[in-house]
Amino acid sequence: VTPLIEAKGLTRVYEMRRGLFGKAIPVRAVDDLSIKVLPGETLGVVGESGSGKSTLGRMLLGIDPAQAGAVTFEGHPMPAFGTAEWRALRARMQLVYQDPLAALDRRLTIATQIREPLDIHNLLTKSQRDGRVQALMAAVGLRPDQADRYPHELSGGQRQRAVIARALASHPSLIVCDEPVSALDVSIQAQVVNMLRDLQDEFQIGMVFISHDLKVVRNVADRVAVMYLGRIVEEALSDVIFASPRHPYTQALVSSVPVPGQPLKGRMILQGEPPNPADRPSGCAFHPRCPLATDICRTSVPALRTIGVGRSAACHLVEGATAPIAA
């Protein structure tokens, strides 16, 4: 089966200056990263802030250019950002990000904004568009009387529902959701995530679900990729990642999430500073925080290797063995 979207060797380096006259430091936000999403599949991308996951999401959609590597969408090379070919593709790939208020125009009603992609891409007849907007509002749990409301007249959760309805309007085959619920009240996060999962399933959309919160990803992802400083350190089916994480970083993340029906194992506390892309440690970038680090970890970069069917990890201590390394 042809992947819906496939990225190979993606690399994005930007220059950062410390202070006005400081020396420019090259920062590798995304570093030689390869990933694919199958049609109708949800890939969870997990990592702390600074791991490059948002940059990756934007690169997958061709919004942030890559210095190296390539993205293929539905079997074709991703056209360059801003070209007519790229704009035409935008109907098939959509982005939902954290702040729905920033994503919406405060001067336009909710219905007008949900309808926008249909108008821009000239989809359906004008009279059919109204019906489609009503159906989309119902699908995301908005009431018909909210059609004529403005963004500030809705709650945060309702606004994000409207953004999701707009993203679905053009029947995309891919949605990239970047922290779609982090700005919402904890009490409604699960509702919005469950709704996204149901819609993804119903319409068989491929989804990249980016989050710093492994708990949230667990609910929605078929597969999970864990990122650290611009690279994938572990990738596996969601159930597998949660049942037997192999990379020490994943083990630490998983140990902080209670798993229903399983005894809570000892929580692994990460030492040291959160990752800073401008100051990448030598060798395994995780070594200053890794409780299992040895000498080789400080000098040699562990390659991402296959460690089982559909699973890979980048750690010197993880071989093809089946037993999980001690947590």
Q: Which residues in this chain contact ligand SF4 in the complex, by CB under 6 A?
A: 247-248, 284, 286-287, 290, 292-293, 297, 302, 315-317
> Whole-number minimum distance, CB 96 to Mg ion, in Å?
13
Residue 293 contact among Mg ion, ligand SF4, none, beta carbon within 5 to 8 Å by kind: ligand SF4
> Whole-number minimum distance, CB 131 to Mg ion, in Å?
36
Number of Cβ atoms within 10 Å of the Cβ of 147: 18
Residue 59 contact among ligand SF4, Mg ion, none, beta carbon within 5 to 8 Å by kind: none
> Whole-number minimum distance, CB 180 to Mg ion, in Å?
11
Number of Cβ atoms within 10 Å of the Cβ of 156: 16
C-alpha distances in Å from residue 87, one per residue of 36, 112, 133, 164? 22, 20, 22, 19
Number of Cβ atoms within 10 Å of the Cβ of 69: 17
Q: Which is nearer to Mg ion, 210 or 297 (CB)?
A: 210
Q: Which is nearer to ligand SF4, 261 or 320 (CB)?
A: 320
DSSP class per residue in 55-91? HHHHHHTTSSPPSEEEEEETTEEPPPTTSHHHHHHTT
- Kind of pairing between the strands at 311-313 and 42-46: unpaired
> Whole-number minimum distance, CB 14 to Mg ion, in Å?
15
Does 211 help bind Mg ion (rule: CB under 5 A)? no
Residue 54 contact among ligand SF4, Mg ion, none, beta carbon within 5 to 8 Å by kind: Mg ion
Q: Which is nearer to ligand SF4, 261 or 266 (CB)?
A: 266
Q: 268-271, long-range: CB within 8 Å, 24+ apart, which pairs?
A: 268/327
Q: Which is nearer to Mg ion, 173 or 211 (CB)?
A: 211
> Whole-number minimum distance, CB 2 to Mg ion, in Å?
29
- Interactions with Mg ion, residue window 41-60 (CB under 5 A): 54
Rounded to an integer, what is the distance from CA 56 to the centroid of its chain?
8
Q: Which is nearer to ligand SF4, 61 or 293 (CB)?
A: 293
CB 84 within 8 A of CB 123: no
Residues 6+ apart with CB under 8 A from 208: 5, 37, 42, 43, 45, 57, 60, 174, 175, 176, 177
Q: Which is nearer to Mg ion, 54 or 255 (CB)?
A: 54
CB 46 within 8 A of CB 226: yes
Question: Total number of residues binding Mg ion (CB under 5 A)?
Answer: 1
> Whole-number minimum distance, CB 212 to Mg ion, in Å?
7
Q: Which is nearer to ligand SF4, 35 or 293 (CB)?
A: 293
Indicate if the alpha-carbon torsion angle 282, 284, 289, 293 is positive or negative.
Answer: negative
> Whole-number minimum distance, CB 283 to ligand SF4, in Å?
7
Residues at the interface with Mg ion (CB under 5 A): 54
